[in-house]
Amino acid sequence: MEERNNLSARSAVLSALLGSHPPQLAARHLVRIGALFGIAEGTVRVALSRMVAAGDLVQSSGRYTLSERLVERQSRQDESRDPHTRPWDGTWEIAVVTAERRAPADRAAFRHTMTALRLAELREGTWLRPANLLREWPEIVTAQCTLVDGRPHRDPTPLLWDLDGWAAEARRLEDALDKAEGLPDGFLVSAAVVRHLLSDPLLPAELLPADWPGGRLRARYDAFDRRYRELLYQHLKD
């Protein structure tokens, strides 16, 4: 894959740990993963030191663990692979920002949270999605928004999500899973699939095009990931 030579040490470390349960690996294993992509041992160890200093990792006895913030990201990844949904009755969740004078950092954190919750912005300060997900509203949302349930007169889905674009990329990734050869290619394809699943809006079937590839990509990736993890762990032990 074209990305192979462009993978940074930090990206290799994060992808490896985000895909591990628990999210902890020895330094020597992370060095071996870096070596798959031609990343020198010294480069990996410098990246590890910088990530510890930045609060991304916690180091103890030669092992590195994701920080609490990144464990939350891993939880979102896991949720994207096995989403918790409920039957949809046609209701939409609508969050209208009513807080005033928000600092730029607060706005950025809020936007990140809303995207992670798979809401889309219809216009500035108005976010919505079908009410088919099982989850709680975090305080960052309840403190800044008025939350209501409603039923739009017209389906706003085409204004909120590029479903054709998402489906086309999902099909490309299905093909990439079939063609991946060796540990490096498998590593890159795996990371790409996980990123793409995180952007799935997880809409109810009633709002999706025919032959939506979301469920199929998840099933194929689960099978791929089981085989790949066995090969990767064997490589790290050899």
| pLDDT tens digit at each of 238 positions of the chain | 444 557 899 999 999 999 999 999 999 999 999 999 999 999 999 999 999 999 999 999 889 999 999 999 999 999 999 999 999 999 999 999 999 888 999 999 999 999 999 999 999 999 999 999 999 999 999 999 999 999 999 999 999 999 999 999 999 999 999 999 999 999 999 999 999 999 999 999 999 999 999 999 999 999 999 999 999 999 998 7
This prediction has a pTM of 0.90
CA 27, 31, 33, 39: dihedral to nearest 10 degrees? 150
Distance CA 129, CA 133 (A): 9
Task: List residues bridging with 26 in a β-sheet.
Answer: 63
Count CB atoms within 10 A of the CB of residue 184: 19
Distance CA 186, CA 170 (A): 16
Distance CA 147, CA 142 (A): 8
Whether residue 213 has a cis bond before it, omega within 30° of 0: no
DSSP state of 128: E
Distance CA 50, CA 53 (A): 5
The token duo for 231 is: 């090969």
State residue 1's pLDDT score: 46
Amino acid at 189: V
